[in-house]
Chain A
């Protein structure tokens, strides 16, 4: 079955540690996105990528980094510079970019990141 796979489902970070969240899709989609969801707030865009080897900062990119070396994969690293990383992280993809998306987004099941 085609879809987006995020791993791990739960992740714990120690202070000063970098952690990487995985996102893989087999939908052959060009565009991929990372969102952060906090209680009482809408999803906020961290980074997005419209094609391989290209990515753009979203609204809250500070403290995060990404890579897009393969079409299928868009990992997100939460660096030690991100002082408030506890949140639910969602990866998404869409067939074409057009910026930050102009059609249906397909979401992964999310990763809950918590700080120890």
Chain B
């Protein structure tokens, strides 16, 4: 089982739709969680951190469910510019130091 798993998609949605992605992680000792956005053949960029209490930034909402070991990203009122790959990142304290583990990403395609 992969340490961090994401549905690769693609999720094809019309403009204005609401779409949600999940990301599951295998190690219950994971400490911190993030969503990154990556456009095709570009560098990943931090979208938002994920907290147990939830985190909202405009149209984007991230949630953490420690009991079920998954994080989610909800995008409301999708825009064409939201089309990208969304990477789930988990930080695990292992071997005496922090280790970042990246998911393979979920591709979102928003169409007119």
Contacts and interface: CB of A to CB of B under 8 A. Distances in A.
What are the 3 closest A-B residue pairs judged by CB atoms, nearest first? A99-B97, A42-B102, A107-B43
Interface of B: 4, 8, 32, 41-46, 87, 91, 93, 96-105
Given A109-B43, A110-B41, 13 more contacts: A41-B104, A42-B101, A42-B104, A42-B105, A44-B102, A88-B41, A90-B43, A98-B97, A99-B96, A102-B98, A105-B46, A107-B44, A107-B45
Interface string A10-50: 00000000000000000000000001000011111100000
Which of B4, B91, B96, B103 counts the most chain A CB atoms within 10 A? B91
Contact of A98 (B46, B87, B98, B101): B98
Contacts of A44: 102
Contact of B43 (A100, A108, A112): A108
A70 interface: no
Specify the main secondary structure of chain B where it touches its partner. strand
A102 B43 CA distance: 18
Which of A41, A100, A104 counts the most chain B CB atoms within 10 A? A100
Interface residues of A, number: 21
Contact of B98 (A41, A90, A99): A99
Contact of A101 (B8, B43, B87, B91): B91
B41 A43 contact: no
Contacts of A43: 44, 87, 102
21 contacts: A40-B104, A42-B4, A42-B87, A42-B102, A42-B103, A42-B104, A43-B44, A98-B97, A98-B98, A99-B93, A99-B98, A99-B99, A100-B97, A100-B100, A101-B100, A105-B46, A105-B100, A109-B42, A109-B43, A110-B41, A110-B43
Interface string A68-97: 000000000000000000001010000000
A110 B103 CA distance: 18
A105 to B, nearest CB: 7
Contacts of B93: 99
A102 B49 CA distance: 12
B44 A101 contact: no
